[in-house]
């Protein structure tokens, strides 16, 4: 019985040494793993897709290979509804290898603002859930996750129609000058058209006018829209219906009462 016991002892010792050496090597390898996250780059495609791309450089100077490397980003609103997500997956990063990649996410701004109209007029905080995962030496899965927040700037922040100025245009028409003001807090320039329809209290359209819009990012906008109303149809009260048309989104009607 002595020989089998000795054999078990030898095998156990050998495997213990191997396991400890392997584990220490794997842990030590993490020290020589370098991540370099570059500046996020925003881009808008002709299909109105906003693309956010983060360049990543991974340098594995460790003693073990890294497998199943993945970065997952989930962006959601305050209520937790998913807006967009991105996944970057690298199957294997061998030792002494440098991998350059980009973590890309895309948002269909038109669809996003159509679904979440609140984001048009109010600034908000977007929740970002970031996860980085990998398997060290195919043996130890490691995952790091973080909850972050990102400010969202509303493109039509503080949108308002000012006091309407009425002046006689000619014997048949009255000119109504409607001041429009808002602040573009968004990360993109707002270029398009704004259309205003004027209704009387009987829900009948009495005038209509439109103007072009050019509001640069992070800047206030002030403009006017002219409407010509028949003197005979001049209403005392009613509502304005505002329609916006830009390459990124179409919005309307925004109902604003007057009188």
Partner 1 sequence: MAEEKNDFKKKLKVFTFKALKATIKGILVYAVYFVLWMVLAPISTYVPSLQQIVETFFIVYITLMIIGELTSGTIFQHFFNAAKALFVVGYLILSLKGGVFGIMFQNIYVTIDLRLFLATVMLLSLLGLAKSVLQAVNYMSEKTEIQRI
Which residues are at the interface with partner 1 (CB under 8 A)?
1-2, 4-5, 8-9, 11-12, 15-16, 19-20, 23-24, 27-28, 31, 139-148
**Shortest Cβ 220–partner 1 spacing (Å):** 34
- Residue 19 or 98 having the CB closest to partner 1: 19
**Shortest Cβ 99–partner 1 spacing (Å):** 21
Q: What is the DSSP letter of 164?
A: P
**Shortest Cβ 24–partner 1 spacing (Å):** 5
Rounded Cα gap, residues 131 and 35, in angstroms = 14
- Residue 9 or 220 having the CB closest to partner 1: 9
Rounded Cα gap, residues 250 and 243, in angstroms = 8
Picking from 80, 35, 73, the residue whose alpha carbon sits closest to that of residue 53 is 73
- Residue 28 or 224 having the CB closest to partner 1: 28
**Shortest Cβ 64–partner 1 spacing (Å):** 13
**Shortest Cβ 102–partner 1 spacing (Å):** 22
Cα separations in angstroms, 134 against 35, 117, 220: 13, 38, 46
Where does residue 252 fall: left (phi above 0), alpha (psi -120 to 50 degrees), or beta otherwise? left
Helix (H) or strand (E) holding 20, with range, is helix 2-31
- Residue 5 or 202 having the CB closest to partner 1: 5
- Residue 16 or 216 having the CB closest to partner 1: 16
């Amino acid at each position: 019985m002595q020989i089998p016991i000795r054999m078990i002892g030898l095998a156990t010792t050998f495997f213990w040494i191997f396991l400890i050496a392997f584990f220490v090597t794997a842990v030590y390898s993490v020290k020589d793993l370098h991540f370099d996250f570059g500046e996020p780059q925003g881009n808008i495609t002709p299909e109105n897709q906003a693309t956010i791309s983060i360049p990543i450089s991974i340098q594995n100077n460790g003693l073990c290979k890294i497998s199943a490397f993945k970065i997952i980003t989930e962006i959601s609103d305050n209520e937790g509804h998913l807006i967009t997500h991105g996944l970057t997956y690298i199957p294997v990063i061998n030792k002494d290898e440098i991998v350059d990649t980009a973590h890309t996410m895309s948002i269909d701004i038109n669809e996003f603002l159509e679904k979440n109209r609140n984001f048009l007029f109010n600034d908000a905080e977007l929740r970002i859930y970031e996860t980085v995962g990998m398997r060290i030496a195919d043996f130890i899965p490691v995952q790091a996750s973080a909850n972050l927040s990102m400010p969202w700037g509303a493109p039509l922040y503080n949108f308002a129609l000012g006091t309407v100025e009425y002046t006689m245009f000619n014997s048949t028409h009255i000119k109504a000058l409607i001041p429009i003001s808002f602040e573009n807090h968004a990360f993109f320039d707002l270029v398009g058209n704004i259309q205003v329809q004027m209704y009387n209290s009987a829900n009948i359209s009495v005038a209509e006018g439109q103007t072009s819009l050019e509001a640069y990012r992070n800047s206030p906008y002030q403009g006017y829209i002219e409407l010509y109303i028949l003197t005979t149809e001049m209403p005392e009260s009613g509502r304005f219906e505002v329609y916006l048309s830009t390459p990124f989104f179409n919005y309307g009607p925004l109902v604003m009462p007057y009188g």
